[in-house]
Amino acid sequence: MTKRLLRLLVLAVSFLVTGASCAGTGSGGESVPLDYVRGRVEGYVLSSWLSSKPGDYVESLAIQGADKIVCRQTFEGMNPDGTVRVKTERSGTTAMEPSPFGGSEEVANFREGTEIVTVGGAQLVCTFLEGEGTKGRFKLWLSPAVPGAVVRMESPHGTLEVSSYKKTPE
């Protein structure tokens, strides 16, 4: 995965959206190292892009206060060095923070579980990750059904929600 794509993911993680629908399951509540949470997110994201086909895309709306960004990421393929090639198009402006975790090295009250999230009329089984960094509480929903894996997010910085996507079945 390119550093630019990882930076976009970290930026996306800082946008984050409203709660998931339906009941879910989860466990945890303990503090975990920040690197553990980042590793879980990066693993989902990379795996999702690697199972995508050229032309698969995800479109998201990120909001913080009056700032709004529509972001469309389209999978173009793999680079010869094994990194993912994704075209990113954005409209809007933002002054959003780059990370929901703040400067903390620990994520307090970390929980991980499963919830159902509705996107464009489709119900997706998502893994959620939630906890507290120095800048407040965050929650992130991930699904391999969506290119880039990030379905929804909430943090003190704002929200992000997938509005549409296309992923060719394997």
Give residue 117's identity as a one-letter amino acid code. Answer: V
- 35 has pLDDT over 80: yes
pLDDT greater at residue 45 or residue 30: 45
pLDDT greater at residue 14 or residue 59: 59
d(CA 137, CA 76): 34
C-beta separation of 141 from 126 below 8 A: yes
d(CA 122, CA 136): 30
pTM, to two decimals: 0.77
**Predicted local confidence at residue 56, as pLDDT:** 96
- 104 has pLDDT over 50: yes
**Predicted local confidence at residue 33, as pLDDT:** 85
**Predicted local confidence at residue 100, as pLDDT:** 55
- DSSP string for residues in 7-63: HHHHHHHTT--SPPSS--EEEEEEEEEHHHHHHHHHHHHHHHHHT--TT-EEEEEEE
Q: Which of 32-36, 83-87, 94-98 has the highest mean pLDDT?
A: 83-87
- 156 has pLDDT over 50: yes
Per domain, the residue ranges of the chain are: 3-166
pLDDT, one tens digit per residue, over 50-65 is 899 999 999 999 888 8
